[in-house]
Structure 1
Amino acid sequence: MPTSTQQPAPPLPEPLRVPVADSHTHLDMQDPSVGEAVAAAASVGVTTLVQVGCDLERSRWAAETAAAFPSVHAAVALHPNEAPRVGDRASLDAALAEIEKLAALPQVLAVGETGLDYFRTGEEGVAAQQHSFRAHIAIAKQLGRALVIHDRDAHEDVLRILDEEGAPERTVFHCYSGDAAMARHCAARGWYMSFAGNVTFKNAQPLRDALAVAPAELVLVETDAPFLTPAPYRGRPNAPYLVPVTLRAMAETKGMSEDALAEHVAANTARAFGY
């Protein structure tokens, strides 16, 4: 993966006093073994990880990993960018049927990351993305799983489709990317907003504005590792053990103590994912 072999990993941060979860990580894309990643995270108070699949193969891996590690839970899905690559509609529906089978496994607590991404997929892929998104919403509702949403440059359509289909009871906006107005919209519907390391970036004031108005009882923290490494380590490989760096920056933005925000985040993540 980019940067993982070019720059050293950031140091371990000071441990959190209140343990929390990394609500969204990709252990299959990180250099350390799963055992090493889990141990490093636990050593700084990140005691639960949600491992997220982005295609069939990675979703199977997520389910297998969650079955092997008690502190790891799985989310399974076809990433929005993956949906147009699967093939024709019949091939896509066959892949979605496999996702549904994986989502029924007890260690799989969420369907995701699904949603829409208009940044890397052109107009020709929109129909496949929207069909896939609607199917994932249906799977999550049918199985009583949380829905984990990837929303990039597609806010209006994501919100519209959620309203048209009826969002699952537990819906999480992973790597929240909207503004304060959208945060209020999500809050009014009881949707969770998970903030990643990019909330620490200098140019991310709109994200901090959104975090500031997001209710503490609907806020989660994530790494999206190995991506979106928080400042001051931007450009170096991200990992679940860096959650404390982001959480401390979030607490500052919200005018809360680290411990108070951590208590909310821990309870919120357990409630959102049902563990």
Structure 2
Amino acid sequence: MYQKAMTYPDFHTHSIPSVGMYNWMVDEWLADPKPPSALVSVGIHPWYVAAHELNVHLQRLEEIAALPQVRCIGECGLDRLQGPALPLQTEAFRAQALLAEEVQKPVVIHCVRAHQELLALHAALKPDVPWILHGFVQKHQTALPFIQHDFYFSFGAALRNPQSSASRVLPLIPMNRVLLETDTADCSIQQIYEAAAERLSLPVEVLVEKIFTTFAAICGKF
């Protein structure tokens, strides 16, 4: 029996988790270059991409991407509603995706209303490492091409609303492609697991073990 069966791994959070992965932005490294002891993802968020400092931030990211506690690159991505123009966001994302290939670490992706652009980048780059859509809240028709291209999906607090698109699409995602996260939500990761287990008609302990297995398969052991 898996000894950590009732510990709830949090794939993506902005608080240091008991078990899981803390989202650590390059800006934090620049302010205080002391890597946290927690497992982390590290990247340049599309909201904060700036042309005049992009090269510096990418250089810093390269310096820390190979640290053993850095398990993923990101969050990075594309956002049509916030941040600089999409071409600059695309430049930053592409550079981070290529770095992820170099260090062989998965990519945590923030994507808002730029799903076709993201799919086009995936087709162009043909990555070997997993790409994970974090905070997924879209409908099945949006999810389908990402399922077909073997993306992973991380779901969050939206699952607590049984009528949300996230709740409706979760059962349609292959179970070995599902992760759970708190992100910036004011609820606990346990509550998100309980909601997900209800949507999937699974015992919580079974869901926890499945996600531990998926987390370990793409990010390594804790």
Fold equivalence (TM over 0.5): yes
Matched-pair contact (CA < 8 Å) for 2:134–2:154: yes
Give the root-mean-square deviation of aligned CA atoms. Answer: 2.2
**Using the alignment, how far apart are the partners of 1:80 and 1:62 within structure 2?**
21
1:52 aligns with 2:18: no
Letter in 1 for 2:40: A
CA deviation digits over 1:175-228, x for unaligned, max 9?
Answer: 113221333323323221110112223652x2112101011111111000xx23
**Structure 1 equivalent of residue 133 of structure 2:** 173
Q: Secondary structure at the match of 1:145?
A: coil
Q: Report the TM-score when normalising by structure 1.
A: 0.72
**Structure 2 equivalent of residue 12 of structure 1:** none
Q: Secondary structure at the match of 1:105?
A: coil
Q: Give structure 1 regions of 4+ aligned residues with deviation exceeding 4 angstroms.
A: 58-63
Matched-pair contact (CA < 8 Å) for 2:162–2:168: no
Does 1 or 2 have the higher relative contact order (CA < 8 Å, sep 6+)?
1
How far the C-alpha of 1:271 sits from its partner, in A, is 1.2
Matched-pair contact (CA < 8 Å) for 1:79–1:113: yes
**Structure 1 equivalent of residue 178 of structure 2:** 219
How far the C-alpha of 1:134 sits from its partner, in A, is 0.4
Q: Secondary structure at the match of 1:65?
A: coil
Q: 1:157 to 1:108 in 2, by over 3 A?
A: same
Q: Report the TM-score when normalising by structure 2.
A: 0.88
Q: Secondary structure at the match of 1:53?
A: strand
Q: Which runs of 5+ in 1 are unaligned?
A: 1-15, 28-33, 39-47, 67-71, 230-237
Letter in 2 for 1:149: I
CA deviation digits over 1:122-169, x for unaligned, max 9?
Answer: xx5211100001001000001101111111222221222122222342
Matched-pair contact (CA < 8 Å) for 2:161–2:167: no
- Which residues in structure 2 correspond to 1:1-275 (within 5 Å)? 18-27=6-15, 38=18, 48-58=19-29, 64-66=35-37, 72-83=38-49, 86-88=50-52, 91-121=53-83, 125-201=85-161, 204=164, 206-224=165-183, 227-229=184-186, 238=187, 242-275=188-221
Matched-pair contact (CA < 8 Å) for 1:176–1:194: yes
Letter in 2 for 1:255: S
**Using the alignment, how far apart are the partners of 1:59 and 1:218 within structure 2?**
33
Letter in 1 for 2:106: A
Q: 1:260 to 1:24 in 2, by over 3 A?
A: same
**Using the alignment, how far apart are the partners of 1:220 and 1:59 within structure 2?**
29
Matched-pair contact (CA < 8 Å) for 2:29–2:35: no
Q: 1:140 to 1:20 in 2, by over 3 A?
A: same
Q: 1:271 to 1:17 in 2, by over 3 A?
A: closer
**Using the alignment, how far apart are the partners of 1:108 and 1:263 within structure 2?**
23
Counting aligned pairs with the same residue, the percent is: 24
How far the C-alpha of 1:94 sits from its partner, in A, is 2.4
Matched-pair contact (CA < 8 Å) for 1:200–1:246: yes
Q: 1:92 to 1:246 in 2, by over 3 A?
A: same
